Amino acid sequence: MSNKPQHPEDKLAYSIEEAAKLLSVRRDSLYELIRSNKLGSFKVGSRRLVARQQLEAFIESEVTS
């Protein structure tokens, strides 16, 4: 039995690649969102992650603007 979440919404944080895929954007575009402070992220060791809450907040802000 695997401990991996079965659905993306089960995860608390996503890698850059996963977050880009969920938003249907390229990695470069996701990094630009992070650099411009439109999308929050955090580092764990050398890995940069995007919290599910940050993705949801970003989508909500884009939908309402």
- Does residue 3 sit within a domain? no
Domain that holds residue 37: 11-64
Overall pTM > 0.95: no
Quote the number of domains for the chain. Answer: 1
- Does residue 29 sit within a domain? yes
- Does residue 50 sit within a domain? yes
- Does residue 6 sit within a domain? no
Question: Which CATH number do you get for residue 35?
Answer: 1.10.1660.10
Using CB atoms within 10 Å of the CB of residue 61, give its burial: 0 to 12 exposed, 13 to 18 middle, 19+ buried: exposed
Each of the 65 residues of the chain gets a pLDDT tens digit; together they read 556 656 666 899 999 999 999 999 999 999 999 999 999 999 999 999 999 999 999 999 999 87
